[in-house]
Amino acid sequence: MLNIKERFNDKKILIWGYGREGKSTESFLKAHCSPKSIDIFEGKRDGFDEESYDIIFKSPGIVMLEDNDRFTSQTEIFLECFRDQTVGITGTKGKSTTSAMLAKVLSDCTERNVILLGNIGLPCLDRYDDIDSDSIVVFEMSCHQLVNTKVSPHIAVLLNLYEEHLDYYGTMEAYFGAKKNITLHQHEGDRLFVGDNVPEVETAAGVTVINTEEVGEYILKIPGEHNYINAEFVYRIAQDVFGADGEDIKRSMAQFEGLPHRLQYIGENKGIRFYDDSISTIPHATIAALTALPDTDTVLIGGMDRGIDYDELISYIKTHPGVKYIFAYETGKRIYDEVSSCPECYYEEDLEAAVKLAVDLTTPGRICLLSPAAASYGYFKNFEHRGEMFKQYALKV
């Protein structure tokens, strides 16, 4: 295990990026170490002298794809301390739900202290003092957290791989390269659970491929075939790695309520049932949402354009005319231009206008679904903000 004090005492440290994680890093270093200095920088890389620092903490949102031993991150430091007791979970879609479900199951089915970390909660080093030798850490890991990480968790989970974040990585190869770090540095005796749509990756770990066509029978409160696949990962990890009883696992999963902004029922207004799937940022997620909620009458699509391929969604829209499609923003306009000749396709300038139109078009008793197939940035602070604004518009219109 890494000796934190030895690593950072008397070192000149730069924190590059001062959002939630940057502030957390500063607090952690001041509480646990005695660095020679801690500087904060927000801006482009050419705005500071790298040679002036012993260690540079890079925040996850900053683009830097090449490896450089002077740079590190909260994720890397955390794994250097706790990799042997960490289950790391990544994938284009489903990682938050799978992480939260697994944490609940392990809490219910083992007698150990289970800590849920990652984008789903607090920055990982905020929980440093809560972890003891018997703790299990379930760590939801984004590609941005993994991109330069040189340590992999003892148990790695790579759920799936779809086109995403091309504005950051440029190519699918670079994006997959970031995701692969969850297993590239595993050791013999480690485990990798991987979905069957993920390309083969070189690893020293024992590999278990989850066949998404052959999932077990589970009773879940959360809708969608994709969530049964998430449940299969949870079941296999809890049983195969931690020895939990199969029936106990199923009982625990049946009680899992799901997470906000993920096919979340938010209420009824004017006889219309509204569902928030603001987490949907790729075409596959929107198609999965429509499949999970077959009573959908109107769906709201569109957001920031990151250059991903929408052919799959365009094809779906052209072959599923029973839904009213309302588009907005950059990607909404892009998709609308391809499907405007189809029946029941509409374009509005923003989410508020799209919701107003949806209320006029949706048959009472049926569903209006927000599932944007695009990022929220440029229009909202994040996907949570987008979901909250959808709820506000939907229930007050």
Which pLDDT tens digits describe the chain residue by residue (397 residues)?
678 888 999 999 999 999 999 999 999 999 999 999 999 999 999 999 999 999 999 999 888 878 899 999 999 999 999 999 999 999 999 999 999 999 999 999 998 999 999 877 789 999 999 999 999 999 999 999 999 999 999 999 999 999 998 888 889 999 999 999 999 999 999 999 999 999 999 999 999 999 999 999 999 999 999 999 999 999 999 999 999 999 999 999 999 999 999 999 999 999 999 999 999 999 999 999 999 999 999 999 999 999 999 999 999 999 999 999 999 999 999 999 999 999 999 999 999 999 999 999 999 999 999 999 999 999 999 999 999 999 999 999 8
Q: Are residues 117 and 229 in the same domain?
A: yes
- d(CA 25, CA 240) in angstroms, rounded, equals 35
Q: Looking at residue 119, what is its pLDDT?
A: 78
- d(CA 146, CA 126) in angstroms, rounded, equals 18
Write down which residue in 72, 90, 125 finishes a domain. 72
- d(CA 93, CA 162) in angstroms, rounded, equals 8
Tell me, rounded to whole angstroms, the distance of Cα 244 from its chain centroid.
26
Q: Can you give the residue range of the structural domain that contains 356?
A: 264-396
Which DSSP letter does residue 45 get? G
Q: Are residues 230 and 299 in the same domain?
A: no
Q: Are residues 86 and 230 in the same domain?
A: yes
Closest CA to 222 of 287, 292, 156, 147: 292
Q: Are residues 87 and 221 in the same domain?
A: yes
Please report whether residue 299 resides in a domain.
yes
- d(CA 356, CA 352) in angstroms, rounded, equals 6
Q: Looking at residue 1, what is its pLDDT?
A: 60
Please report whether residue 259 resides in a domain.
no
Q: How far is CA 362 from CA 194, 246, 269, 327, 397, in A?
A: 39, 42, 11, 15, 13
- d(CA 237, CA 219) in angstroms, rounded, equals 18
Instruction: Provide the number of structural domains found in the chain.
Output: 3
Q: Are residues 208 and 339 in the same domain?
A: no
Q: Are residues 210 and 307 in the same domain?
A: no
Q: Are residues 248 and 340 in the same domain?
A: no
Q: Which residue has the tokens 């952690």?
A: 28
Please report whether residue 289 resides in a domain.
yes
Indicate which CATH number applies to the domain containing 331: 3.90.190.20
The pTM of the full predicted model, rounded to 2 decimals, is 0.92
